[in-house]
Structure 1
Amino acid sequence: MTRRTGNPLGFALALASTATLVTGLAIPRAMAKSTAHDGIALSNSYAGNSWRQQMLKMWKEASHQAISGGIVAKTKIVNADNSASQQESQIEDLILEGWKAIVIDAASPTALNGVIAKACHAGIVVVAFDSLVTAPCAYKVAYNYVHMGQIEARFVAKSLHGKGNVLEVRGIAGTSVDTDIHKGIVETFRKYPKMKIVGSVHGDWTQSIAQKAVAGVLPSLPHIEAVVTQGGDGYGTYEAFMAAGRGTPLIIFGNRQVELSLWAKLDKKPGGYHTISLSSAPGVSSIALWVAQQILAGAKVPKVVNVPLLQIHANQLQSWLKVLPQGAVATPLYSQTWTERLIAANLHHTAPPASPGPETLH
């Protein structure tokens, strides 16, 4: 048995430090400030596609866990109609209502900065996720969307042996997500001089809009070997190619159930269908909620919490399809404990925890 010597307070502090190192948490839960009486609101810019619908569902499930577990008192969702001015007005209302934290999926990287600064000045924790903001006081739960574009373009270039015509289907114009994915695609294709982006349309991350946009541009385009996308547009793109009698190019999918089902169908044909599916996970809203809660609890949280993309390969396709209902998007539901580990990984610059799998879905 080791004999305890020295300052009892120093020994207690050492124990607390050890607990922090062992668990990887910013602060031990026993020492955290209670958030049981706090409320966290979600300001969402847009709810018009399956990704956003799934994102809202994941927020509601995480909120239920937080409220039923006595971790927070209440949550709320307000949706803007893809309008930065409407979202700004809604955030003004949330400030007046006295919410302790506001989580934001933004309509614009810059248009909300003024009202965000007002919220921060009022002592409200602001956490942006998915479509981010540039307001310095806001915390960010961030995917590396430039890297997403790089992954897509690299996969296409290697699959086509560095030569081919590519159609780019982009997201909502003006958002940081669209800008960053496009940047990664363009930067990567510069390394392959014989890879040509011969057309570009905005599909707004929505199947029907993507189908219409692609159908409108196809008659003016040469033969297309591949399509790079941003998620929510792969199936609509495929339908447009079929309607035009153009054959099926290599399409990068975006983790929607309809896209994964299409991939499984195409893969049954002779020779299979070689692609990948990747996207941000709609469950990132649950991470953002827990990040806000951790900040309110007094945990040390970096200004930017980086989250790994959810990438699905052929050998994972069936396990996701087994649990995804029609119209859903592949995503885990992230827990408070998993988020604490992610925060610790960001603080210590270590590998993020392994992403939960389809088993987290109900």
Structure 2
Amino acid sequence: MKIRPLRCLFLSSALLLSPFMQVQADTADKTIALSNNYAGNSWRQNMLGSWKQTTDDAVKKGVIASADAFTTGENQATEQAAQIQNLILQGYSAIVINAASPTALNGAVKQACDAGIIVVSFDGIVTEPCAYRISMDFKQSGLDQMDYLAKRFPNGANILEIRGLAGVSVDEQIHSGIVAGAQKYPNLKIVGSVNGNWSQTAAQKAVAGILPSLPNIDALVTQGDDGYGAAQAFMSAGRPTPTIIFGNREEELSWWKKQKDANGYESFSISSAPSISSLAFWVAQQLLDGKQMPHDLLSPAVSVTQDSLEPALKGLEKGGIVSQVYSVDDVATLTSPSAH
């Protein structure tokens, strides 16, 4: 496993001036809530597990009074906005959000800010200026996929794009990176696109549905929790397995390892760490403790290469995702996009 920043990291002056090395007791009576829009894949389940593990420990140690998690239905922005309004009424000190939409929750978020509540969004972020945002550079991760394929296929390739949940900022940003890569490498041609909804089963069904209308496919660009399902669709259709970019899930990495051992299959995998939820918790806690930091923050991507595949799989539990453990000290390593 290799943890790498997508661009050179320089700490902003705001972060350098803030001591993060100790958690202060000033937040012992504070309460933090997680509002999550979707839990239907392994990344989200691991994300919620990371939140629970981190916050249970923080409550036990008296860092905060409570940290509750609430998940809405299938990516329903209106339901999540109502949920946030309910959390405001319950008097939480801070609300951490994985948002269904970058804009549809802004009204509820502004209400929270106006009520003196700190709002931290992550992964699926919100654009309301009063909120804080923690994000991987998802556009760059899309471009990274195309950079990899440009090296693998110097003479050109037909590419199928598997997108995520429509309307969510992560999907839009990764897609913009894929588009930028196609412009950068004109011989890499996107010949089809489907929504896999960050789900193995949805991706398998969507790919199976579009395959009969497609020419030979050399590679797939993806967004996570879709690579293995896509591979199954190609196998079921009796078509040659393309180079599939993966999203660090154990199931797809194990499949990659089997193909690598059998026939030298080569690929690349990249994703945000699901433990970014615990990082968002510590950002909220530090803000409640009076620390100052930029409203927009970047966290590094986690990537797996042909050479690091075996180390990444070692100790990775079935159904798990390559990740890392975050602590309060890691808040100091976050950077502002303006520092890049």
Q: Which residue of 2 aligns with 1:78?
A: 70
Letter of the structure 2 residue corresponding to residue 321 of structure 1: L
The residue matched to 2:290 in structure 1 has which SS? coil
Does the 8 Å contact 1:169/1:202 carry over to 2?
yes
The residue matched to 1:190 in structure 2 has which SS? helix
The residue matched to 1:93 in structure 2 has which SS? helix
- The answer to whether structure 1 residue 234 and structure 2 residue 237 are counterparts is no
Report % sequence identity: 48
The residue matched to 1:331 in structure 2 has which SS? coil
Residue of structure 2 aligned with 1:249, choices 242, 246, 269: 242
TM-score by length of 2: 0.92
Q: Which residue of 1 aligns with 2:259?
A: 266
Letter of the structure 2 residue corresponding to residue 342 of structure 1: T
Q: Which residue of 2 aligns with 1:8?
A: none
Q: Which residue of 2 aligns with 1:316?
A: 308
1:169 Cα deviation from its structure 2 partner: 0.3
Q: Deviations over 1:250-308 (max 9, x none)?
A: 000000000110110010123x1211110011000000000000000011111111101
Summarize the alignment of residues 1-362 of structure 1 with structure 2, pairs less than 5 Å apart: 24=16, 26-27=18-19, 34-81=26-73, 82-270=75-263, 272-339=264-331, 341-343=332-334, 345-346=335-336, 349=339
Unaligned residue ranges in structure 1 (runs of 5+): 1-20, 351-362
Q: Deviations over 1:99-148 (max 9, x none)?
A: 00000000011110000000000000000000111111000011111001
Q: Distance in 2 between matches of 1:56 and 1:227?
A: 28
Q: Distance in 2 between matches of 1:129 and 1:168?
A: 24
TM-score by length of 1: 0.86
Q: Deviations over 1:52-79 (max 9, x none)?
A: 0000000001102211221111010110
Does the 8 Å contact 2:84/2:108 carry over to 1?
yes
The residue matched to 2:27 in structure 1 has which SS? coil
Q: Which segments of structure 1 move beyond 2 Å, counting only runs of 4 or more?
A: 27-33, 345-350
Q: 1:197 to 1:87 in 2, by over 3 A?
A: same
Does the 8 Å contact 1:215/1:244 carry over to 2?
yes
Letter of the structure 1 residue corresponding to residue 58 of structure 2: A
Q: 1:31 to 1:51 in 2, by over 3 A?
A: closer
Does the 8 Å contact 1:164/1:224 carry over to 2?
yes
The residue matched to 1:118 in structure 2 has which SS? helix
Does the 8 Å contact 2:197/2:203 carry over to 1?
yes
Q: Deviations over 1:133-175 (max 9, x none)?
A: 1111000011111001000011112101140100000000111
Structure scoring higher RCO (CA < 8 A, sep ≥ 6) equals: 2
1:315 Cα deviation from its structure 2 partner: 2.5
1:316 Cα deviation from its structure 2 partner: 2.2
Letter of the structure 2 residue corresponding to residue 60 of structure 1: K
Q: Distance in 1 between matches of 2:150 and 2:67?
A: 45
RMSD between superposed Cα atoms in Å:
1.9
Does the 8 Å contact 1:257/1:329 carry over to 2?
yes
The residue matched to 1:196 in structure 2 has which SS? strand
Does the 8 Å contact 2:20/2:329 carry over to 1?
no
Q: Distance in 2 between matches of 1:164 and 1:28?
A: 47
Q: 1:103 to 1:162 in 2, by over 3 A?
A: farther
Q: Deviations over 1:313-355 (max 9, x none)?
A: 123222222222111111112111222x224x549948xxxxx
Q: Distance in 1 between matches of 2:27 and 2:277?
A: 19
The residue matched to 2:277 in structure 1 has which SS? helix
Q: 1:27 to 1:197 in 2, by over 3 A?
A: same
Q: Distance in 2 between matches of 1:34 and 1:213?
A: 50
Q: Which moved more, 1:287-296 or 1:27-36?
A: 27-36
The residue matched to 2:50 in structure 1 has which SS? helix
Q: Distance in 2 between matches of 1:29 and 1:123?
A: 26
Does the 8 Å contact 1:104/1:126 carry over to 2?
yes
1:29 Cα deviation from its structure 2 partner: 6.0
